Amino acid sequence: MPMTYLDDIGARSKDLEKQRDKLINELKNLEEKHRSGNVGEEEYKEKRHEIERALVEIMDRLAQTRFLMGQG
């Protein structure tokens, strides 16, 4: 059975959720490394900013896909 438009959006949404979860875990790991002294302040701030920017993008795309699926 061919994928429908909503199936495609649903698959994209699941992929975005996985990416979001991965980024959240990266952020948690970064914070742990920073607290334990394995990552310096500058590196911590730089990497945290990169992860947060990526998270904002993912969350924006997720909101768009949920809107298209009628879950908004």
The tokens for 43 are: 């590196």
Instruction: Kindly indicate the confidence band of residue 4, based on its pLDDT and cuts at 50, 70 and 90.
Output: confident
Burial 27-54 (b: 16+ CB within 10 A, else e): beebeeebeeeebeeeebeebbeebeeb
Residue 68: name the closest of 20, 11, 21 by CA.
Answer: 11
Kindly report, residue by residue over 5-57, the tens digit of the pLDDT: 667 888 889 999 999 999 999 999 999 999 999 999 999 999 999 999 999 99
Specify the pLDDT at position 1. 46
